[in-house]
């Protein structure tokens, strides 16, 4: 087709080919500025999409992906709100009572809220979340087969489901829901590691791509302070853990919604 366009022997054929390629009206074919303006607008739109996707990636990677790697503050929050407290014969949820324990499993930890066997169950939640790292190859294959946008949708659903189950636990006290909630958060972390690479590859090769990948990688490593922030807010304000989770979920919907849109 390019060869036909370059051949001046049949002008009408050239016009038809040009209309097909550019998909514009024949009256605009002779305009030398039309294609240039359209290309410039397309480049601006693409640049805006990249910026929006990068901004949303910064937020979901830092605030949600892999937050459980900074699990210690979340352990304090869960212990304070009575997670697995039924395992402690002498434990009283949300109090500092330290009755003489009947056995070592009933003995309180230094935080004053959890006993030994309770702490063991809380650490099991972290183990289950970390175990999802073995599913990372499957998530990569899913992204390759069904596109990164499909993986982003899966990540958003897992993040919403995990946080919702955590909120339901805080509301109802059904702590067994956490055995599902934290593995879902683990999937979100593994997916986030794949998605930030896909985001970086959208930028031009060279310095722009390197800057994007470096910044997102740094945020991915710093993700562990998220739960520390939640713990500090809950401890230093009148906001309850339940209210804090509602705000956290609302932000999750907004951030992942922007990422899915672009």
49 vs 151, higher pLDDT: 151
Interatomic CA distance for residues 50 and 227, integer angstroms = 29
- Do the Cβ atoms of 162 and 184 come closer than 8 Å? yes
Longest dimension (CA), the chain: 102
Name the region of 157 (left: φ>0; alpha: ψ -120 to 50; beta: rest).
Answer: alpha
- Do the Cβ atoms of 100 and 106 come closer than 8 Å? no
Q: What percent of the chain shows pLDDT beyond 70? A: 74
Beta bridge partner(s), residue 115: 108
Mean per-residue pLDDT for 134-162? 90
Report how far apart, in Å, the C-alpha atoms of 260 and of each of 151, 152, 154, 155, 219 are. Answer: 10, 7, 10, 10, 20
Interatomic CA distance for residues 225 and 62, integer angstroms = 9
User: For the segment 186-219, what is each residue's pLDDT rounded down to a tens digit?
Assistant: 999 888 888 888 888 888 888 888 888 888 888 8
Interatomic CA distance for residues 188 and 186, integer angstroms = 5
Confidence of residue 72 (pLDDT cuts 50, 70, 90): confident
Inform me whether the pLDDT recorded for 243 exceeds 70.
Answer: yes
User: Which one, of 128, 90, 118, 252, lies nearest residue 175 by Cα?
Assistant: 118
Burial code of 176-186, b = ≥16 C-beta within 10 A, e = fewer?
Answer: ebbeebbbbbb
Interatomic CA distance for residues 162 and 182, integer angstroms = 7
Interatomic CA distance for residues 212 and 197, integer angstroms = 9
Across all residues in the chain, what is the average pLDDT?
A: 77
**pTM confidence score:** 0.70
The pair of structure tokens assigned to 208 is 């722009």
Interatomic CA distance for residues 57 and 200, integer angstroms = 10
User: For the segment 83-114, what is each residue's pLDDT rounded down to a tens digit?
Assistant: 888 888 644 444 444 443 444 444 555 455 66
């Amino acid at each position: 087709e390019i060869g036909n366009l370059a051949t001046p022997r049949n002008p009408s054929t050239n016009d038809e080919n040009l209309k097909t390629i550019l998909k514009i009206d024949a009256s605009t074919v002779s305009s030398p500025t039309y294609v240039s303006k359209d290309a410039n607008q397309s480049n601006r739109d693409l640049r805006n999409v990249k910026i929006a996707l990068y901004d949303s990636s910064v937020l979901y990677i830092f605030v949600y992906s892999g937050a459980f790697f900074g699990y210690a503050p979340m352990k304090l929050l869960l212990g304070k709100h009575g997670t697995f407290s039924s395992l402690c014969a002498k434990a009283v949820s949300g109090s500092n009572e330290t009755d003489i324990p009947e056995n070592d499993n009933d003995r309180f930890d230094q935080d004053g809220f959890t006993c030994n066997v309770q702490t063991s169950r809380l650490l099991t939640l972290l183990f289950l979340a970390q175990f999802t790292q073995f599913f990372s190859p499957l998530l990569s294959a899913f992204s390759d087969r069904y596109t990164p946008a499909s993986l982003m949708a899966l990540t958003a659903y897992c993040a919403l489901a995990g946080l919702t189950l955590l909120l339901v636990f805080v509301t109802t006290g059904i702590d067994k829901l956490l055995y599902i909630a934290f593995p879902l958060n683990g999937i979100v972390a593994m997916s986030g590691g794949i998605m930030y690479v896909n985001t970086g590859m959208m930028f031009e090769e060279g310095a722009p791509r390197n800057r994007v990948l470096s910044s997102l990688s740094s945020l991915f490593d710093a993700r562990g302070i998220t739960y520390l922030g939640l713990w500090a807010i809950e401890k230093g304000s009148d906001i309850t853990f339940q209210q804090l989770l509602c705000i956290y979920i609302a932000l999750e919907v907004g951030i992942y919604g922007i990422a899915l849109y672009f």
